[in-house]
Amino acid sequence: MAKSVGVTLSEQMFAGFVVDHALVGELRRFPEDESDYGALVEMHTDALVEMICKQVIEVSEGDTKLDAVGVAVPGLVKNGVVEDAPNLPQLKGARLRDLIEAHLKRNGLMAPVTILNDADGVAAGLAASHGKLDSVIRVWTLGLGIGFGRYPFTPGVWEGGHTVVTLDEKETYCGCGGRGHLEGVMGHRAMRLRFLDLEPEEVFEAAKKGDARCVEFKKLYHKALAAATSSSIHMAGPGKFFLTGPYVGFLDLPMLKDYVQQMVKMSPLQGYSIEIVEEEPETRIIGSAVSAEQAAGI
Ligand SMILES: [Zn+2]
């Protein structure tokens, strides 16, 4: 029986106790108010580490030894170090695995800690919940940033959210500073910068009512995701793509599929499928725990 804790950091922090790939007991969240998106960005790394460990200890309810703790973060992670995290910039360079492992140990909890990319955690969680732990899946997470996750874990960079989807020199809204990126079109902050007078929700509402500027943007939004998806198909082959995240409700799936169809024409690459799945913190938590178990050799 594998006992692990999964933690995810993105717009909010979630933690849960996972036994044999299923969530046991209540999950914890911080901040409580889900519209308080700024709370995590404003926390110093030490405070974040402390908060993560507090939640791990709380959900494991007195266990002093766990098989694994998986912590999913929105960024580029290598060997337990967060190399970059445009949406949680304070974590850049943090040796998060060592910091969390040491802090847990000081508080009497022994566990091997794995730090993973949050979208990879979602991919692993979807694989576990759809009973597809033996197949390859890719997932786009639409949140403050745009995440790209793969399951099974494969060493590499996989910063798919920063796929270049336009050569327009004016496309400079990506949080990383790069020009022409997917996240520079679809990211929440990028949309706020593009439409200083409208919230993203209002942009898509106005598009429904025929506002020309918003209709144009809606097309750009879907073309950008179609372009990044078709680039992934052309590089790594067809297969299953899941779309999820807090802003997945903006998507018009037939429009997206139509654009992908226009972009992928080679017949051996036609065997792809694209599916929207609702955002559930449980999926991310289980995925983080399962990934950490696999990394710990369980
Ligand atoms: Zn970027």
pLDDT in tens, 109-159: 999 999 999 999 999 999 888 777 777 899 999 988 899 999 988 888 889
How many whole angstroms from 177 Cα to the centroid of ligand 1? 6
pLDDT digits (tens, 9 = 90+) for 196-247: 999 999 999 999 999 999 999 999 999 999 999 999 999 999 999 999 998 9
How many whole angstroms from 181 Cα to the centroid of ligand 1? 5
- Cα separation of 105 and 45, whole Å? 18
- Cα separation of 42 and 65, whole Å? 31
Per-residue confidence (pLDDT) for residue 37, from 0 to 100 = 66
How many whole angstroms from 163 Cα to the centroid of ligand 1? 7
Judge whether residue 46 has pLDDT over 90.
yes
How many whole angstroms from 176 Cα to the centroid of ligand 1? 4
Strand locations in the chain (E):
3-9, 13-19, 22-30, 68-73, 76-78, 81-84, 113-117, 137-142, 146-151, 240-244, 273-276
How many whole angstroms from 129 Cα to the centroid of ligand 1? 30
Task: State the helix-helix crossing angle for 200-208 and 212-236, rounded to 10 degrees.
Answer: 110
How many whole angstroms from 140 Cα to the centroid of ligand 1? 15
Which of 35, 280, 114, 194 lies closest to 202 in space, CA to CA? 194
> pLDDT confidence of 173, banded at 50, 70, 90?
very high
pLDDT digits (tens, 9 = 90+) for 7-33: 999 878 999 999 999 999 999 998 887
DSSP-based three-state secondary structure for 274 = strand
How many whole angstroms from 185 Cα to the centroid of ligand 1? 10
How many whole angstroms from 124 Cα to the centroid of ligand 1? 24
- Vertex 107, ends 106 and 111: CA angle to 5°? 85
